[in-house]
Amino acid sequence: MALSASVISELATVVDDAQRNASEIVKLTDDQPEMDLADAYAVQAELLRRWQGEGRRLTGYKGGLTSKAKMVQMGLDTPVFGVLMGDTCVPDGDVIDMNGLIHPKVEAEIAFVTSRELSGDVSIDEVLAATEFVLPAIEVIDSRYKDFKFDIQSVVADNTSAARYVVGGSPRRAAGLDLRLLGVVMECNGEVVGTAAGAAVMGHPAASVVELVKWLAGAGKALPEGSLVMTGGVTEAVAVNRDDHVSARVQHLGTVGVRFT
């Protein structure tokens, strides 16, 4: 780490305020060029500590930049991890108020809910054996950085752009499904805006969970039983506007949808 605890705390305040007020900020590295990835995750950990202190609940974790499409779109080549807070969960079919967001984009994802704790080095098969069900998801990302432009440190400190998440459809047991082959179609106002298969995420969506568990282990943590894991957008993220209706259809897992007002 390159930054002091007091600077980490100041940066957490900058990000927290931007998230609360839906106000744009400049990349943290503009003012803190020394900031490294460990500092960035320290800012994220400080945010989580504050949020839990306010009574907000950690419901799971997210992997980001786990598909080639997302990496190319953002010009970064390292997966990132973030936290999911219960109050940012939007019911399937519900509406999201654009007023609380800056410049939201949507991503179609495959989500997991775990049935057992996972820790350390796990295999794809171990992840699948510890999976209660898989389900379709839409993640709404809303980078707090101007023009959605950032480097890896800045996006990690911004909790990897997490803003809202929607899960639903028809949750299914993973056994008997080849998650690599699940077709995914994202639509906006009935028009197809993205297509992919599960394998777009690291060759297998469960590989994103493997990496997440490894990242948690590095911080001395395990992935608790009953966690929701968003494995990352399978296609490029798509910008949305007021009155847009977005849906993500995942083969065998049904459809999840949300509208913006």
Closest approach of ligand OOG to the CB of residue 135, in Å:
16
Residue 139 sits in the site that holds ligand OOG (CB under 6 A): yes
Q: Which is nearer to ligand OOG, 12 or 140 (CB)?
A: 140
With beta carbons less than 8 A apart as the criterion, state whether 261 and 243 touch: yes
User: Which of Mg ion, ligand OOG, none binds 44 (CB below 5-8 Å, type-dependent)?
Assistant: none
With beta carbons less than 8 A apart as the criterion, state whether 253 and 182 touch: yes
Query: Could you say which residues in the range 223-252 bind ligand OOG, by CB under 6 A?
Result: 232-233, 237
- The token pair at 248 is 């993500």
Helix axes of 5-21 and 37-53: crossing angle, nearest 10 degrees? 60
Candidate list 107, 151, 187, 244; residue touching ligand OOG; CB under 6 A: 107
Q: How far apart are CA 254 and CA 170, in angstroms?
A: 5
- The token pair at 231 is 């494995």
User: Which of ligand OOG, Mg ion, none binds 143 (CB below 5-8 Å, type-dependent)?
Assistant: ligand OOG
Q: Which is nearer to ligand OOG, 115 or 195 (CB)?
A: 195
Q: Which is nearer to Mg ion, 42 or 234 (CB)?
A: 234
Q: How far apart are CA 167 and CA 61, in angstroms?
A: 13
What are the CA-CA distances from residue 49 to residues 6, 24, 55, 65, 76 (Å)? 15, 23, 10, 24, 27
Residue 46 sits in the site that holds Mg ion (CB under 5 A): no
- The token pair at 143 is 């980078």
Which x/- pattern over 23-62 shows residues binding ligand OOG (rule: CB under 6 A)?
Answer: ---------------------------------------x
Candidate list 39, 92, 139, 142; residue touching Mg ion; CB under 5 A: 139
Q: How far apart are CA 111 and CA 105, in angstroms?
A: 18
User: Which of Mg ion, ligand OOG, none binds 70 (CB below 5-8 Å, type-dependent)?
Assistant: ligand OOG
Q: How far apart are CA 53 and CA 24, in angstroms?
A: 25
Q: Which is nearer to ligand OOG, 9 or 73 (CB)?
A: 73
The beta-strand segments (E) located in the chain are: 58-64, 80-85, 89-91, 95-96, 105-114, 131-141, 162-167, 183-188, 191-197, 228-230, 238-239, 245-250, 254-260
Residue 88 sits in the site that holds ligand OOG (CB under 6 A): no
Candidate list 7, 11, 12, 65; residue touching ligand OOG; CB under 6 A: 65
Query: Could you say which residues in the range 156-215 bind ligand OOG, by CB under 6 A?
Result: 160-161
- Helix H or strand E encompassing 129: helix 124-129
Residues engaged in binding Mg ion (CB under 5 A):
64, 107, 139, 233
Residues engaged in binding ligand OOG (CB under 6 A):
62, 64-66, 70, 74, 107, 139, 141, 143, 155, 160-161, 232-233, 237
